[in-house]
Amino acid sequence: MAATKVKAGAAKKSAGKSAKAAASRKTKAPAAKAAKKSAARSAKSATKAKATNAKTARPATKTKAAKDVPDFTDFPAGVVTRRDVTLCLACIFRLFTKQLGLAPRTAYNEIRRYAPTVEELTSRNPQRPFFKPSEEKNPHCPYCEAPRRWHARVTVHRVEGGKATDAARRALVRTLPAKDGQFQVHEEKKTARQVFFEWLERLGQELDFEDDNAWMPEAARAYLQRREPKTDWAEVFDGARAVRRSHRLEEGWEREGARLFLAPPLYNDVLLVQYLVSRSHRHGGRTFDGRLTLLDFVRRMRHGGHLEAQGITDRDQFDVLEQLVEHLAGGDESAKLHFIIDRRDLLNKVKDVYARHAT
């Protein structure tokens, strides 16, 4: 695995060196990808082999399995996100046995069937019996102090629907084990605008706004990944020290040494994303073009011909922003979100807990 990584890195570096090499990059990239894939595959089969010894080496197997399966390596970056939440089985067991008066066996069966909603699982402030996974070595339930053996991890993979992911997602879902509802699949209909703002909010939570040199390119890359999922943006940004507006390109991007040039429409959209994601964190939005008030931003877009190109004729700065955002986000177009909920750890842990409880 380490060897694969070094090779892929070397291919990237040499590709960045000259225009000639850039042409060969296209041929090298798939090879690196294939290597990555086969590495992932062998890691997977190793996990499977380990899984047969589940009884003897359980804790290690569980964490390993959760990392590798389901396997999203074939999905474009940026369309799949993962959220983990911890479920306290002591809390829920107590609720079922003490408050609802169920016998332990019945409570056990109920918990096995328990299907938490996406909302419960992905809430920013999880409610009892859920809590945020802790970095601590020996975490305790914040509600009842129960130690780790009572904690079950539930993972939600969120996949944005669309041409780039639908076939891969269907294929993936078919490979998931159906037994005992280890995985549950859920779908939500949204508008493109809603999905965009959810994405933006999450991006804002992930970025560290203290360091402009880190978050600005990161925000640009995240947006470009979302907009053109088929391009390997990690590679495009690798070694890029500056992102600039291109005066030559009408569309797309090009790398020139350590600089990445974006065609004006692309660059302007990146500025808008930076403006939107940072305006609540800083006074005025922060962008590659500096700190901008809404008025500055709208002026810049107008002078650059960006408003005209999008047919925006409003004069009021707030109306203009709204129009720009509609254009960027996709407005009322329908969009689908798919959730794959991994309940395997819940099923395993509840079995352990019941075994302890019954004896």
- Residue 143 or 209 having the CB closest to Zn ion: 143
List the Cα angle 66/71/72 in 5-degree steps.
Answer: 120
Q: What is the rounded CA–CA span in Å between residue 258 and residue 304?
A: 25
Q: How near is the Cβ of 96 to Zn ion at its closest, in Å?
A: 13
Picking from 185, 219, 186, the residue whose alpha carbon sits closest to that of residue 201 is 219
Residues 6+ apart with CB under 8 A from 282: 209, 291
Q: How near is the Cβ of 66 to Zn ion at its closest, in Å?
A: 21
Part in contact with Zn ion (CB under 5 A); list of ranges 80-88, 130-138, 200-208, 325-333: 80-88
Residues 6+ apart with CB under 8 A from 70: 157, 172, 175, 176, 183, 340, 342
Which residues inside 192-251 make contact with Zn ion, applying CB under 5 A? none
Q: How near is the Cβ of 93 to Zn ion at its closest, in Å?
A: 9
Q: How near is the Cβ of 348 to Zn ion at its closest, in Å?
A: 18
Q: How near is the Cβ of 142 to Zn ion at its closest, in Å?
A: 8
Token pair listed for 308: 């005209």
Let me know: does 334 contact 160? Beta carbons within 8 Å: no
- Residue 152 or 240 having the CB closest to Zn ion: 152
Relative to beta strand 183-191, strand 242-245 is unpaired
Part in contact with Zn ion (CB under 5 A); list of ranges 28-36, 83-91, 277-285, 338-346: 83-91
Applying CB under 5 A, among 8, 15, 32, 88 the residue interacting with Zn ion is: 88
The reply to whether 91 sits near Zn ion by the rule CB under 5 A is yes
Part in contact with Zn ion (CB under 5 A); list of ranges 90-98, 115-123, 154-162, 212-220: 90-98
Amino acid code (one letter) for 187 = E
Q: How near is the Cβ of 180 to Zn ion at its closest, in Å?
A: 23
Sketch the per residue contact string, 121 through 160, with Zn ion: x for CB under 5 A, - otherwise. --------------------x-xx-x--------------
Counting residues that bind Zn ion (by CB under 5 A) gives 7
287 φ, ψ (degrees, to nearest 5): -140, 175
- Residue 41 or 356 having the CB closest to Zn ion: 356
Picking from 87, 231, 65, 73, the residue whose alpha carbon sits closest to that of residue 151 is 87
Let me know: does 160 contact 335? Beta carbons within 8 Å: yes
What single string gives the DSSP state of each residue in 76-95?
PTTSEEEEEEEEEHHHHHHI
Summarize as ranges the residues that interact with Zn ion (CB under 5 A). Answer: 88, 90-91, 141, 143-144, 146
